[in-house]
Amino acid sequence: MNSSSDDVRRTGSDAPTRTFGPPATVVVGTLVAAFVFVVVLEFLVLISFVGQRLWAHPDMLRDIVFTLPLVLWVLIAAAATVISVRVLTAWLQIDEEGFELRGLGRPTVKAVWSEVGQVIAVRDIERGSSATEMLDAPASAYDGVYVLDRRGQRLLAVSSRFFGLRAQERTLEMARQAGVRIEHIDAIGTAELRAQVPQALSFGDRHPNLILLLLAAFYIFHNVLTFAVWGL
């Protein structure tokens, strides 16, 4: 997988196909985030488990409450691994026929341009004060390019943060050549975009602050539970 830029590949008919993967910043950011969630924020759990050699404790794997802190850490590690693999192995092919999004841990999305009803290119999605706003995309990029089917449901979301500006430009270029209607929006709020295109934004896109709040609550609970059950 080429993780920093797009390359040109040849199909069986020797027609060029543009392939895009996550930029280097996304690769590094994903690995750092996984390390933070699995190790840094779980330092109390790890130091308690290793420092007290709890793998040899008679209640480990026998008592549900005593084992729960370890089970939760394993679930966190598994979730971080799946999400990281999903992001790092994603690749998007866009050509004159259509597009295809593949990757480990995600369903394949594939469609031809005749199945596309509309493409919406949003320059700026106003999310208010949230962590998402800190991940600034290039000034020339769109906040999101959304490919919708003829029923208005989302087929593909091309984010400059995860695929880069050139992937967005390629999407718009191929859609334009295929005669697909393209709507450009300079700025729009999440509620208004959701009302206009219900399938455009995921739950995480609509409620980034809530996601962060739930994560914070979970980690606080996990550390308090670990201290109460295992101590230091």
Note the pLDDT tens digit of each residue in 125-160: 876 554 545 445 455 578 889 999 988 888 999 988
Q: Quick one: pLDDT at residue 128?
A: 59
69 or 139, which is more confident?
Answer: 69
pLDDT band at 46; cut points 50, 70, 90: very high
Residue closest to 6 by CA, chosen among 24, 29, 30, 31? 24
The set of residues, in sequence order, having a beta carbon less than 8 Å from that of 7 and lying 6+ positions away, is 19
The set of residues, in sequence order, having a beta carbon less than 8 Å from that of 184 and lying 6+ positions away, is 121, 123
Q: Quick one: pLDDT at residue 124?
A: 86
Alpha-carbon separation of residue 151 from 147, 154, 180, 182, 195 (angstroms):
11, 9, 14, 15, 14
Note the pLDDT tens digit of each residue in 19-29: 899 989 999 99
- Does position 16 have pLDDT exceeding 60, yes or no? no
Asked if CATH classification 2.30.29.30 holds for the domain at 7-22+90-201, the reply, yes or no, is yes
Note the pLDDT tens digit of each residue in 117-126: 999 999 888 7
- Backbone φ and ψ of 140, nearest 5°: -85, -5
pTM of the predicted model over 0.85: no
Domain boundaries, the chain: 7-22+90-201, 24-87+211-229
